Structure 1
Amino acid sequence: MLMSRRAAAAAEVIPDAVRTDVVTLWRYHDLRHELRSCDVGIGLGSHDLGVAVVATRLFYEGLFPRIVFTGANAPTTVGRFPRGEAVHYREYAVEQGVPAGAVLVEPRATNTAENLEFSRALLAERRIPVESVLIMSRPYQQRRAYATCRLLWPEVEVVCASNPLDLDDYVHSIGDARRVVDMLVGDTQRIEVYAQRGFAIPQEMPDEVRAAFERLVTAGYTSRLI
């Protein structure tokens, strides 16, 4: 039991050899948008229940009158959210007292583009006018979510947010430092690749971010690369 606890604790620690580079990517993806009232909040499905947590909190703070949770399942989420990411997010929000009528579920999306396209279609179907959206995602998905929305839904104003945890607290909440770093590296690659493929608008990538990304790839954090 002692060894398993030690192993679990070790799994929650960013190795010192890569910490500076991980922090560089972490800060790059955090857009630090100033939050303001929007017509709707959109919570992007993932393995991270923190999306539902921040959506619930911001609903109570009055930043939007309704929430769309969007997401089906992926191999990394089906074990935790067997009924679908959006369904479990909605259940969490309603358990926390958010009125059921204020929460819409889009249960089919399997990627960020579909999250936004299907949410947009659902809102149009319900005849809900939207001029601004507050997108809530994993911390390292903010920049990609913003770039994707600006391409696919250019007429709306976009604000991005995540559950406000620092890097170490986020890693602890996930319980797997390796997974977090791999995801950070993968999302950094997608910023440029998706823009090149026409899936998102281009985003500036400073030299220090590119260098940190390349060092982490060399260090073997490659499981989420395209």
Structure 2
Amino acid sequence: MHHAPRPCSVAIGLGSHDLGVSTVAAQAYLDGLVPLIVFSGATSPTTKDRFPQGEAVAYREHALSLGVPDHAVLVEPTATNTGQNITQSRAILEAADISVSSVLLVCKPYEQRRAYATALKLWPEVEFVCTSAPVELTEYVDSIGDVRIVVDMMIGALQRLMIYPAQGFMADVPVPPNVKAAYERLVQAGFTSRLAVTG
């Protein structure tokens, strides 16, 4: 998205298999960009072994190990998709009577457009700044340790960009023809484990 991180009311870290989300959110707090972090996420097929205690809990523990104080982290441990990450984080903030005008949305590098489009649809009253770890693809794959998971997740995210706007789950995001063609080639090659069921 090429958004420049800037001061926001809160950071929301979207749960996944990528501990880098927690690192980026923690650094935003330590740099004074946000006074509070919400980590959101239960578990998924790609995280149940990696984070058996849940994504948000694992993210919180990692952020605390980096120097973020306990009082600056809220945990939303039940969300199982991006939409729930947004709506349930919003509910936790509202229940805590925390005023939010802007959100630093932290996610995996290849999830930025999907996360941003989902947030715009579900919480249009606030301004979103989307960010992730600034890494190249090969470096990212090495950090996760499983190229198959990364490619499958990327394909799943792209499919949702193409089908979810019509279902009302996110704002419309144009997908260039060359990107669609690459998606189709990878699906034909079998990278399908994270595709949403359609039809």
TM-score category, normalised to shorter length:
over 0.9
Report the counterpart of residue 8 of structure 2 in structure 1: 38
- Post-superposition shift, 1:204? 0.8
1:118 is aligned, of 72, 80, 88, to 88
Q: Distance in 2 between matches of 1:75 and 1:183?
A: 11
- Post-superposition shift, 1:124? 0.4
Q: Distance in 1 between matches of 2:155 and 2:48?
A: 22
Structure 2: 5+ residue stretches without partners: none
Deviations 1:71-126 (A, max 9, x none): 11112212111111111111111111111100001111111111110100000011
Letter in 2 for 1:117: T
Letter in 2 for 1:83: Q
Number of matched residues? 196
Given the two structures, how large is their TM-score scaled by the length of structure 2? Answer: 0.95
2:158 is aligned, of 173, 184, 188, to 188
Point out the structure with max Rg over C-alpha.
1
Q: Which has the higher contact order (CA 8 A, sep 6+)?
A: 1
Preserved CA contact (<8 Å) 2:46 2:149: no
- Post-superposition shift, 1:220? 2.1
1:139 is aligned, of 104, 109, 131, to 109
Report the counterpart of residue 149 of structure 2 in structure 1: 179
1:219 pairs with 2:189: yes
Q: Find runs of 4+ consecutive structure 1 residues off by over 2 angstroms.
A: none
Deviations 1:151-199 (A, max 9, x none): 0000100011111111000000111112211111111110011111110
Alignment of 1:1-226 (within 5 A): 31-226=1-196
Q: Distance in 1 between matches of 2:60 and 2:194?
A: 27
Alpha carbon RMSD of aligned pairs, Å? 0.9
Given the two structures, how large is their TM-score scaled by the length of structure 1? Answer: 0.84
State the secondary structure of the residue aligned to 2:182. Answer: helix
Q: Distance in 2 between matches of 1:210 and 1:96?
A: 39
Report the structure, 1 or 2, having the larger helix content.
Answer: 1
Structure 1: 5+ residue stretches without partners: 1-30
Q: Distance in 1 between matches of 2:56 and 2:150?
A: 21
